[in-house]
Structure formats: structure tokens, C-alpha cells
Amino acid sequence: MTVWSFCPEQIQAKLKTIDIKNKGGRPDLIEYRKLWVDWIKDFSGCENKKQWAVSNGIHDAITNQVAYKSKSVDTFYIFSNDYKFYNVILGPYNYKFLTPNSIKSIRENSYIIVSQPNHEGKITDWFEPLKEQCRKTNSKIFLDCAFYGTTLGDTIDTSDPVFDAVAFSLSKNFLLGGWRVGIVFGDKLAPSLTVPIDHYYDYNYFNIAAVECGKIVLSNFKSTYITEVAKPIQLKYCVENNLKPADIWMWAFDSTGKKICITSSIQYKIQEELNK
Ligand SMILES: Cc1ncc(COP(=O)(O)O)c(C=O)c1O
């Protein structure tokens, strides 16, 4: 079962003000990076890594970074209940599935793609053991923060050197997937990610529509813009319907533990609250 958010009318109205340009330049990049760094403050640290890049969503960052790493990494790993797109990206490479119980099987020089908070509805209990096993085996993590902002009170120190790359996008939180607004930070990113924004080459071959969208959305709506209003509504809905709320506001579990996306049932109430 997948999970989706919605795009509030307030965000949709701001999207109408986006500046259409044929090409971006250095000032756009400087502003975009700064706005992201402010927006991701609860998962801060990765902004101090040596490099960054504009990415067409998180997919683009993973696709490029995995290709780049594929010559030096022995095995890629993904969790079997994580984002379904990972195995599409990893199709051409040597990869294995993990479960929380098989974390100890990660071998030397591996690369793990993982999302946090993730499709379990929260920051998972096995995230710390995963990082520990990676440190022991000289392995690295690609941290997918697609769900950043959809829970309250969570923090992650993303400066940890165990993270080879840390990526964010506006796709999940505000249902803006079509705009492909993303960013990735890392100490050694794929040149296919960094060259399009490189000052030396001066190509500026980055997605300026996405950057303009990011500039408008990031500066006007904090990461928990929906979540702060949605959480109490989710909790009330769960009490009324005998469901267990996930940390991610869009999600609940029924009495058999099945995940249910409750967004369509509560979004009108959230919109009403946002309008006040
Ligand atoms: C775990 C996870 N990662 C990434 C994405 C989206 O990726 P992108 O930023 O490329 O749209 C999603 C869903 O939209 C997701 O559930």
C-alpha cells in the first residue's frame, strides 16, 4: 500500500506565481541551496558535506550516485519493504534485499539505499543498528529523506560520515512529484550530478523550473506546514475509526496491522484548518 499527501490550495496558489525562465544562473543556485539548508534544519548536518547538487527528485540523485559507485562497491542492498522504485534503479547492478533481522549479514564495502522516516510509517528502530553495521564493514548509506517533514519532532544528524549521500525532495510532503524539486549532499558525489551546477564549467544545465518552484515553496511553507495541522486530525480520526496512527500523518494501521493511507479521508479537514 502506497501513501500520498495532497497539495494545499495555499501552495497551489503560490505555484501560479512561478517565474518561467529558459535558463538559470549562479544566483538561483545560491538561493536554492540556502533555502533548502534552512528547510531541512531538523535533519541538518549534511549541508556541511563537501558537495551538493540540484537533483530531479530523489530518484535522479540515487540513479546517478549508484551508477557512480557501481565500480567500487561490492554489493548494493535495499530493504524489502522500502520504496519500490529502488529495485528498478538497481536492476543493472549486483544487489540484495535486507530485512531488519538480516542487517548483520551486510558485508565489507557495501552500499545501502534506505529511506527514513520510511514506509514503516516512522524512523525505524533498526536505523541505529544499520548505521553501526555499516561502520563495522566500511559500508556506506544513501539516505533518502523523501518523508522529511511528514512527522513531528524527529531529528537525524545527517553529518554522519556513514552517509555517502543525503537527498531531499518536495515530492512526498507536498505532492509536488511532477516538478522534480530535489537536492542531494555528499562528500563525493557523481560528477553527472555536480557538473551541471559547477561554477568552473559554468554550464548551468540544471532544471530551472524545479529550482524556481523550490524557491517559491521552500521560502513560503516550512517542512511541517501540513503536518502540524494534520497530526491532531489524524489522531482524532484514528480514535474514531479504531486505527493506530503512524508517525507519518498520512498513515494508520488497522487491527491486523495493515497500513492504510487516510489522506483522502482527512485532507478536507486539514484544508479547512489551513484556511483559518
Ligand atoms: C521513499 C521514497 N523516496 C523517494 C520518493 C520520491 O522520489 P522523488 O523525489 O524522485 O520524486 C518517494 C515517493 O514519492 C518515496 O516514497
pLDDT, position 202: 80
Residue 59 alpha carbon, nearest atom of ligand 1: 10
For residue 204, pLDDT beyond 80: yes
DSSP β-bridge partners for residue 166? 143, 185
Ordered domains of the chain (ranges, CATH): 9-220 (3.40.640.10), 227-275 (no CATH)
Name which of 267, 228, 275 is nearest 250 in CA terms: 267
Percent of the chain with pLDDT over 70: 100
Please give all residues whose beta carbon lies within 6 A of any atom in ligand 1, as ranges. Answer: 57-59, 83, 115, 144, 146, 169, 171-172, 177, 182
Q: How far apart are CA 127 and CA 147, in angstroms?
A: 15
Contact 65, 191 (CB under 8 A): no
Name which of 30, 26, 47 is nearest 186 in CA terms: 47
Percent of the chain with pLDDT over 90: 95
Ligand 1 centroid–CA 257 distance in Å is 23
Ligand 1 centroid–CA 173 distance in Å is 10
Ligand 1 centroid–CA 266 distance in Å is 22
- Ligand 1: which of 66, 83, 217 to mutate, most ligand atoms within 8 Å of CB? 83
pLDDT tens column, 164-191: 999 999 999 999 999 999 999 999 999 9
pLDDT, position 157: 98
Q: For residue 122, what is the DSSP state?
A: S
pLDDT tens column, 19-33: 899 999 999 999 999
Mean pLDDT of 57-78: 98
- Ligand 1: which of 169, 173, 183, 250 to mutate, most ligand atoms within 8 Å of CB? 169
pLDDT, position 200: 77
| Secondary structure (3-state) at 142 | strand
pLDDT, position 1: 67
Residue 62 alpha carbon, nearest atom of ligand 1: 10
For residue 53, pLDDT beyond 90: yes
Exposed, middle or buried by CB within 10 Å (0-12, 13-18, 19+), for 227?
buried
Ligand 1 centroid–CA 62 distance in Å is 10
